[in-house]
Amino acid sequence: MENQEQLLEEGDRLDKLHRSYDGDGVVDESYVVLTVGASLIATLGLLSNNNAVVIGAMVVAPWILPLRALVFAILIGDRKRLIRALITLAIGVLITTVLSVGLGTMARANGLLIVDSFPDEITARLQPNIMDLGIALAAGAIATYAKVNPGAVSSMAGTAIAVALVPPVCVMGIMLAAGEFDEAQGAGLLFAANLLGILIGGITVLATREPYFREKLRTQNHSRLPLLIALVLAFIVGEKLYRRYEKHLYTLKRENAKERIESGIRAYLKKRTATFGNNDSLELESVSFDWPDYWERNRSPQLQVVVRVTDPTTPSYKQVQYIQDRINEGIKTRFPGLKLQMQVQRINVTVVSGDEVIPESGKFDLEQILGQDIVQNSSLPKAESELAETETATETETEDKDEIEIEIEIEAPTPAARSN
């Protein structure tokens, strides 16, 4: 008798759970209105680079509902419910894409969207990596847990912000409007990562929490096949995201190394060399270290030094070659196989002055002059006024660029050296 009551209670609970998902995957007026509103808010927030507005759109967006219905449909093997949830989600994506493309086109036509200078809120969603998939997995698990545990409903707003399905689609539409199809792929990849992460995270939570769903997955092909497809897609997306993560990590390490190398070489040139340090005829202007990017890692790095000189023969080829050899000698112990090519760009500075003027004592009142403009253009003849505009300076610097490029054979860094 007691077992029968437990079975009845379990049946009632599962039946109630079934009914709770019935309205989640439906295209109704509320779903369409919220999707349109979230799309407009998110797109305008992205174009105006307003983070608070974009967050508001994340909270308004209703796409977590068909996603939860999709999770439930996969677990119980309900093909009809699964197709309905997919159609509902596809309609939402289509509405958002059309609206964002339209707003992006209008923004570009009115000069509000500049291709080479996208707002930070847009660029932040163009380069997803493997961590975005991890965030989506956690958020999907929390969203599904909140569905089956009423005490966790307060976490739904935070979950909606974390997964952020609408903004990536809006960014994709904006990039399509701008003609940046490669960047649109990046935003689309972020959306796919969030979508699959929520799906797999939700399935994991329900299957772990409910023996009923575990049994369905074990015994029904209708449940296992969609889950297998989702896992394969997640693996493909994850592999692409990991490659992007490697590229991002390489870029960070490169920029950090570049700053440290430039700072160290500048200090070395100023303090340890007579050519660039204690030399009145030479002023060190900049040091630039050209480290190869991710796709050119086998290219040798270059070191470019820009100096301003009054002596056009300084520094000489021998001086540059000597310093280059000393720098390479110093870094080979820390970075075996790494050699730098040093290039020096000389900017010759010539000082041109008029004849020396000796003031006549008592002929002028200095205080009176300081209280007025020294030269009144209206008091000069026209020809002299025009001459004054072009040659009033008694001391003019003219700059001639003379570039010295030292071409020597450079050994590319070994893989072991690059990993250091």
Amino acid of residue 189 = L
Residue 216 in tokens: 């369905």
Which tokens is 3 given?
A: 């077992």
Domain boundary among 217, 251, 285: 251
The confidence score (pLDDT) of residue 157 equals 53
pLDDT value of residue 46: 93
Flag whether the pTM goes above 0.75: no
For position 217, what pLDDT does the model report? 80
The pLDDT value given to residue 413: 41
Q: Which CA distances in Å does 249 have to 192, 236, 288, 334?
A: 22, 20, 21, 21
Does 32 map to a domain? yes
Establish if 268 belongs to a structural domain: no
The count of structural domains within the chain is 2
Confirm whether 258 is domain-assigned: no
How far is residue 365's CA from residue 202's CA, in Å, rounded to a whole number? Answer: 88
The answer to whether residue 145 sits within a structural domain is yes
Question: Rounded distance, CA 141 to CA 132, Å?
Answer: 14
197, 219, 251: which is the final residue of a domain?
Answer: 251
With left for phi above 0 and alpha for psi between -120 and 50, is residue 306 left, alpha or beta?
Answer: beta
177 and 101 in contact (C-beta within 8 Å)?
yes
> What residues make up the domain containing 290?
273-353+395-420
Q: Are both 238 and 346 inside the same structural domain?
A: no
Whether residue 304 sits in one domain with residue 240: no
The token pair at 45 is 């927030």
Give yes or no: residues 241 and 133 share one domain.
yes
pLDDT of residue 175: 94
Q: Say yes or no: 247 and 306 in one domain.
A: no
Query: In this structure, is residue 370 part of a structural domain?
Result: no
Asked, for residue 369, whether it belongs to a domain, the answer is: no
Q: What is the DSSP letter of 411?
A: P
For residue 278, what is the domain's CATH number?
3.30.70
Alpha helices in 77-129 (DSSP H): 79-109, 120-123
Q: Do 192 and 318 share a structural domain? A: no
Residues 220 and 141 in one domain: yes
Task: Give the integer Cα–Cα distance in Å for 74 and 225.
Answer: 9
Residues 235 and 277 in one domain: no
Q: What amino acid occupies position 350?
A: T
Same domain, 243 and 156: yes
Residue-wise pLDDT tens digits, 337-387: 777 888 888 888 777 777 776 666 555 565 565 555 544 444 444 444 444
| CB contact at 8 A, 98 and 32 | no
The reply to whether 414 and 305 lie within a common domain is: yes
In a domain, 129, yes or no: yes
The H helix count followed by the E strand count for the chain is 16, 4
- Whether 244 and 280 share a structural domain: no
Q: Which amino acid is at 17?
A: L
Residue 80 covered by a domain: yes
> Residue 194's CB: how many other CB atoms inside 10 A?
29
**Domain match, 70 and 172 both:** yes
* Token pair listed for 396: 């003019």
Instruction: Calculate the alpha carbon distances from 24 to 18, 70, 83, 305 in Å.
Output: 11, 9, 13, 63
| SS (HEC) of 255-319 | HHHHHHHHHHHHHHHHHHCCCCCCCCCEEEEEEEEECCCHHHCCCCCEEEEEEEECCCCCCCHHH
**Low-confidence residues of the chain: pLDDT under 50:** 154, 294-295, 374-420
Q: Is the same domain home to 184 and 332?
A: no
